[in-house]
Structure 1
């Protein structure tokens, strides 16, 4: 990754962080915001600043509020830069925990595919979740593909050919 690309991605993170800081102020919540670049995309993480902050309210059931806030942060970046952002937002380490849960489910499905020799379809997931599963499947040497239409899109894990 070139220095120019990294600076551009960090700038996207800064724009999103400014947006999120304003949101936290409106909600009268305190949080620390960490900006990084991972896998060629900007990542912004919001963590509680003190024990009394319930950041899980910003995650919502099954991450639905988090997804909406990520879309809004991406729109804030797009309105300032004119470019579509692939920014990832995590709040209270929800995505990190969810990533490990999905990896476990993927490994269980991979074991089933290997044991029975048939394709296994997983439950519907958002794009982030499907990417996690695809990465685990690829690492295991099997094949996977997404099928269906959002919001009911899901991953099918297939035996190696």
Structure 2
């Protein structure tokens, strides 16, 4: 965490000098006015300069991106990381040779990597920010695949009148199944078991 104390003829001037040195804007810092200063008698007798303390706040997106890049470099993976905002989430997407190995079985390695990045990125942040780590669009493809699976299994349950137990999924993946089928008639969904073996059950809806 960077902290600067600056003095100048006015509080605003001192703040601006600190912001320029930090390369930041006001949304990225905490400002404390230590002395508002005084022009003194007749403009010079007893005059004091203004003094401020400006603290650069940790930016989770920057911290997460830097940490992730260090991990990739240490693993010897030639890669690039793009940072974008999607809704209220920041997405760090990895591109490069051999980065598919970071996904793991059903995204388990990627989920673990995302968990670690979020811990490091937010450890000193005053305002937490959720970071999503992705590899070349994997999460979007996985979401589309799960939605197709949900609709296909729901159709089978509706026809056969027998419940269907899906494979164990992460909380995020189970949420996709539940959301996809929440307005589908003739079926209902619920989850059973304990993580990491918790599963979604698609059941025929009871009709009186």
TM-score tier, shorter chain, comes to: 0.7 to 0.9
The alignment partner of 2:189 has SS state of: strand
**Counterparts of 1:10-159 in structure 2 under 5 Å?**
11-48=59-96, 53-81=97-125, 86-141=130-185, 142-159=187-204
Query: TM-score, normalization: structure 1?
Result: 0.77
Q: CA deviation at 1:135?
A: 1.9
Structure 1 runs, 4 residues or longer, greater than 6 Å off: none
Residues 165 and 199 of structure 2 are in contact (CA less than 8 Å); yes or no, is this contact kept in structure 1? yes
Residues 190 and 200 of structure 2 are in contact (CA less than 8 Å); yes or no, is this contact kept in structure 1? yes
Query: TM-score, normalization: structure 2?
Result: 0.62
How many Å separate the matches in 1 of 2:148 and 2:99?
25
Q: CA deviation at 1:23?
A: 1.3
Max radius of gyration: which structure?
A: 2
More strand by share: 2
Q: Which runs of 5+ in 2 are unaligned?
A: 1-26, 28-58
The alignment partner of 1:156 has SS state of: strand
More helix by share: 1
Root-mean-square deviation (CA, aligned residues, Å) is: 2.4
Number of aligned pairs?
148
Range moving further from structure 2, 142-151 or 33-42: 33-42
The alignment partner of 2:200 has SS state of: strand
Residues 46 and 91 of structure 1 are in contact (CA less than 8 Å); yes or no, is this contact kept in structure 2? yes
Q: Closer, same or farther in 2 for the Cα pair 1:140/1:95, shift >3 Å? A: same
